[in-house]
Structure 1
Amino acid sequence: MAIGVDSRWFRRYAPAGAVRRRLVCLPHAGGSAGFFHSWGRAAADGTLPSGLEILTVRYPGRQERLEEPAIDSVERLADEVTSALLPFTDTPLTLFGHSMGSSVGYEVALRLESAHGIRLDALVVSARKAPHQVTPKDTYLRGDEALLEEIRGIGGTDTALLDHPELRALVLPALRADFKAVGTYGPRPPVPVGCPVTGLVGDRDPRVTVADVRAWAAVAPAGFDLTVLPGDHFYLVQQREAVLRTLAAHLG
């Protein structure tokens, strides 16, 4: 286990014994490390393999890092996460990203390989178009109400935060930064990663189709598989057990 490592970027869920592998979870736009809190318990109760440490990424501008400026670029987020991950690469490493987190995870995988010679065990992408098919959006340029309406439509963010004026003022800067990061991450050449890629998607996602996620195969010469589950963009909330079983099959 990486003892004494600065975990400002990660909330850590350590196993009872020695760490034999790690799962890194990257939240969606508007999300936080707390979104994956219940996954930390899954490693302890046997749903996920023993010896697994889970790291959930703490983006700046929210929760414990509320006073820090949010980062409005997928590439810059990936730079920072990559640097923070280096002390944790002493064990096999799998990245799971949901929505925006999938793009960040893909960019982290490329950086670990090209700059540090580190290849992931697997990259798991969820509810996100492949890098060569993402489409820029100008939602971040709109007024607060238009931005909030978009967020409500997607789901995944506590509506109490959006409806309470003081709380909304606290979370809006990070939300706008995230939507700028997503909105300016345009299509790019499908640079392959060296690890297998697994795609997950809800069958009723209004923004990301099964074909959109299947297109990740273009960056996965080491192998690609796809799991389609019932649900919308946040299918993984209702389908938590099925998602964890899918992960367990890759982490076992």
Structure 2
Amino acid sequence: MTVSTVSPWFIRQPSTAHPSRIFCLPFSGAGASAFNGWPAALGDAEICPVQFPGRENRLAHPHYGTYENLADGLVEALSPTLDRPFALFGHCAGALPAFEAVVRLAARGLPGPECLFVSGQPAPHDASRDRMLAMSEPELRQEVETFLRGRGIDPRPDMIDMGLSVLLDDHAAAARYRRSEPVRLACPIVVVHWRDDPEVSLDELAGWRHYSDSVQFRVVAGGHYDFMDAPDELRDLLTTWR
């Protein structure tokens, strides 16, 4: 049985078959398919990949424009699903709208997550340091091609064009995002660092310690995009909040 309200924010509607849920947010330029390699559930928690507008099956939907707009839309989508404990997982830039959604849930007096997992992403007040924000369009095109080839895909030019279009819109939103001062969340934060990640160092994640009274830093084996394969070490970590 699924939640009665059908929402485009979920590629499959959250069900009532599990006592808890983990909502998963992808990185810039990506969609919910980033979690295709994940199981449908981890322990007693249903895995619920979130689909941002402007990509994949929501390609015709207007782009969200800013992380603030994205978080507002996500909170509306989450509202019918807050009937049981939940956590949020955001990888790379997906951690930022996840954080903003938690802020908005609290402001509206709605139930908040039991835990916020942030993976491979510096804290909100450090987000502008992302090296990719300074890249030119040709450099970003090369990033798209390199990513696809790294996933074992021999990309056609039109596939690269499509990926670049989404990435450019997402990066414009990332460039607009500013939060100069930390905001304390009521929930614990688990910060995931990938040991072989060339994009962000463990030191660059340290700013998250200002965002909750309970912040854990966990180092796991793998590179920046290895979360897509749901490695056992990450799976084990994502079951610790229940």
Do residues 21 (structure 1) and 20 (structure 2) align?
A: yes
1:225 is aligned, of 210, 213, 216, to 216
- Give the equivalent residue in structure 2 for 1:210: 202
Native 8 Å contact 1:127 1:233 kept in 2: yes
Deviations 1:111-159 (A, max 9, x none): 0011233221000000000112222569568653222124456779858
Alignment of 1:41-52 (within 5 A): 41=40, 43=41, 48-50=42-44, 52=45
How far is 1:181 from its partner? 1.9
Letter in 1 for 2:123: A
Identity of aligned residues (%): 28
How many residue pairs were aligned?
242
Moved more, 60-69 or 97-106: 60-69
- Show structure 2 runs of 5+ residues with no match: none
How many Å apart are 1:234 and its aligned residue? 1.8
Q: In the superposition, relative to structure 1, how do residues 137 and 119 fare at CA in structure 2: closer, same or farther (>3 Å)?
A: closer
Cα distance change of structure 1 residues 184 and 193 upon mapping to structure 2, 3 Å threshold: same
Q: CA RMSD in A?
A: 2.6
Question: Cα distance, 1:177 vs. partner?
Answer: 1.0
1:177-208, CA deviations, whole angstroms, 9 ceiling, x for partnerless residues? 11112222234210011100001011232221
1:177 to 152, 169, 174: 169
- 1:103 paired residue among 76, 96, 100: 96
Shift of 1:220: 1.0
Residue 240 (structure 1) aligned to one of 231, 238, 242? 231
- CA deviations 1:78-137 (Å, max 9, x no partner) are 111111100001111100000011111100000001123322100000000011222256
| Closer/same/farther in 2, CA of residues 2 and 188 from structure 1, 3 Å limit | farther
Give the aligned partner of residue 199 of structure 1: 191
* TM-score in terms of structure 2 length: 0.88
Q: Which residue of 2 aligns with 1:33?
A: 32
Distance 1:244 1:38 in 2: 12
Specify every segment of 5 or more residues in structure 1 that has no aligned partner in the other structure, as ranges: none
Task: Give the alignment's TM-score, normalised by structure 1.
Answer: 0.85
Aligned to 2:240, the other structure's residue is in SS state helix
Answer yes or no: is the 8 Å Cα contact 1:95–1:123 preserved in 2.
Answer: yes
Say if 1:200 and 1:229, in contact at 8 Å, map to a contact too.
yes
